[in-house]
Chains A and B, each alone.
Chain A
Amino acid sequence: EVQLVESGGGLVKPGGSLRLSCAASGFTFSNYDMNWVRQAPGKGLEWVSFISSSSSYIYYADSVQGRFTISRDSAKNSLYLQMNSLRAEDTAVYYCARDWRGDLDVWGKGTTVTVSS
């Protein structure tokens, strides 16, 4: 079964850091580009970051550029999001999603990040 499972969310103070992980299974992870997408409480979906299959191409939303770092480890079938200098507006459910043809065809169930003092 094709599956993505996020972990690493939690409560963190403003200015703090958190590292999210996404474990992939059921498909050849190294063949696929990957993304992080988030949804703040009561808000819509917001694309956060993209990483190509070989890690050669990386893109970020303006809202996280310079604070978040996406990476992957194909040996561990895992995707990561290092989040630094966290702000209240980063509070959201974070989803990892597989990129297929540009659309996102497989999603994890999400991990919740709360930034609050």
Chain B
Amino acid sequence: AIQLTQSPSSLSASVGDRVTITCRASQGISSALAWYQKKTGKAPKLLMYDASRLESGVPSRFSGSGSGTDFTLTISSLQPEDFATYYCQQFNNYPRTFGQGTKVEIK
């Protein structure tokens, strides 16, 4: 199974900060990667698909990049509603796998 390793596992940031989360795949997955936001007690929300495409309705401060094995999710200016846990997920093959998550906390 393809392993996805996210870094960091957690981070503290302030409103307005630029935040970057990385996701590394154990083997190449082309651009078959999605990013999700998860808040406690809520369903996950799709942010990015195909590594760099913004899901409809998601604010443009979110962006994604990468292909092959290395990917990033960037929040250009962190907003109060962005404090959450973020997960990458590969859909290149089965079993589908998620990264372990990156918790973004208020500094």
Contacts and interface: CB of A to CB of B under 8 A. Distances in A.
Contacts of B98: 44-47
Contacts of A100: 49
B91 A102 contact: yes
A11 to B, nearest CB: 19
Contacts of B82: none
Interface in B35-72: 36, 38, 42-46, 49-50, 55
B1 A50 contact: no
Task: Please report whether the interface of chain A is mostly helix, strand, loop or mixed according to DSSP.
Answer: strand
B55 A105 contact: yes
Interface in A30-65: 35, 37, 39, 44-47, 50, 59-62
B43 A103 contact: no
Interface residues of B, number: 25
B34 A61 contact: no
A19 interface: no
A59 B44 contact: no
B80 interface: no
Please provide the 7 A-B residue pairs with the shortest distance between their CB atoms, ordered closest to farther: A102-B91, A103-B34, A107-B43, A103-B49, A47-B96, A59-B94, A44-B101
Interface of B: 1, 32, 34, 36, 38, 42-46, 49-50, 55, 85, 87, 89, 91, 94-101
15 contacts: A35-B96, A44-B87, A44-B98, A44-B101, A45-B36, A50-B96, A62-B1, A101-B49, A101-B91, A102-B32, A102-B34, A102-B91, A103-B89, A103-B91, A105-B46
